[in-house]
Amino acid sequence: MVTNKKIKVVDDVIEVPAKKYITTDGMEFIDGNAADIHQAQLDLGEKAKLCFEKYGIYTTDDVLIEEDALNGNEKITKDDYLFTRVLHTDMIDIDEMYILQANDENAQRKILNLFCSYLRNVKDDCFFKEASDYAFPHTIVFCRDYDSGMYIALCAEREFDLVEKAMEHGSFKYDKVRRKNMSLEQIKRDLEKDIVKNKSKLETWKRVTYLTKKDGSPYKIMAKNFENAKYGTRFNTFYLEISCECNNNQYKVYDDIFCGNKFQEYTLEKIKEKVIERIEYLKNKIKSQEYQLMIIDSIYEEFEQSYHDMCTRLKDACGTNQYGYINSIGNAIYQDIVGSDIF
């Protein structure tokens, strides 16, 4: 059975008589509880829409507004200096945000209670901070927090610095365009930095030389046989280590090779072979990294497009709710596959 009286109950005959539940948006359910949950989301969305029509100044959430819905607030959007400052932040065209005006405590309570519920239950977004109770009237801005990515409600008149910070940076986790630019550039920077490190290691290993006694024989104390490298012990193992300055002496890089353990210490000749192997390894790694750096832009773009196409296919196959979000089964499939370690 369902509890919401707005839901129409009809008999559905397949092989045997069965009930199905049709919500006000036309969706059909066999499970009455699922219908109740979906109808509750629809009702909450309608309440949020009515609230926004009464108190709203601006939003990018097209679920809450229809064409010309903001005509009543034209004077505010044109003349209000604070609102103009908000609109000139970087986030305005990217993420869903909500700006409403509370003229008294009762309006503030309605706005906060309703929109906190709307964001939690309809948008599936966490919410963790509410606007402070400042003098009325004041402007409430719902936007994503810089650090957490969760929605916050801030008083624009008294907390504009927080609004500005949140809107400039807050939802880069959710902003595909900005995230692409940031992550791709960061990948390239990290790769370039790693290439610099490996080149420094390579040149330092090449400078390692081997000292001998006057008769040309190696020293019995292994540590005396090396120049530009340090031979030592660590946790019952022997190692040969080099260190070098990187990026105009901004930081130091270390590298070492295993030279045996307390049961069997490598000979000098064996260590020389290991040094040569390390040099070849670094040469190959640098070559591979430079090739990766050369192709990363095209590979990134190709993978991003393929990923987008697959997500679109999943969304089309599973269907969406009234608000355009993928249904629960599609989300479960996505989380199961994308959340796993495919490599």
pLDDT per position as a tens digit, 111-130: 888 888 887 777 655 555 56
Interval 168-223: pLDDT, tens: 544 444 444 444 455 788 888 888 988 998 999 999 999 999 999 989 899 999 99
Tally of domains in the chain:
2
Among 146, 173, 200, identify where a domain stops.
173
Examine the domain organization and report whether 94 and 136 are in the same domain.
Answer: yes
Whether residue 96 is contained in a domain is answered as: yes
Residue matched to tokens 């092989």: 15
Nearest to 259 by CA among 240, 279, 282: 240
Asked if residue 21 has pLDDT above 80, the reply is yes
CA distance 100 to 341: 43
Examine the domain organization and report whether 233 and 306 are in the same domain.
Answer: yes
Contact 279, 202 (CB under 8 A): yes
Phi, psi of 272 (to 5 degrees): -60, -40
Examine the domain organization and report whether 162 and 209 are in the same domain.
Answer: no
Examine the domain organization and report whether 45 and 155 are in the same domain.
Answer: yes
CA distance 325 to 261: 59
pLDDT at 124: 58
Interval 291-300: pLDDT, tens: 999 999 999 8
Q: How far is CA 24 from the centre of its chain?
A: 35
Max intra-chain CA distance, the chain: 103
Of 193 and 165, the structure prediction assigns the larger pLDDT to: 193
CA distance 169 to 161: 12
Among 110, 139, 173, identify where a domain stops.
173
Structural domain boundaries, residue 111 = 31-173
- pTM score, whole prediction: 0.46
pLDDT at 175: 45
CA distance 8 to 75: 43
Phi, psi of 20 (to 5 degrees): -130, 155
Whether residue 323 is contained in a domain is answered as: no
Among 116, 139, 173, identify where a domain stops.
173
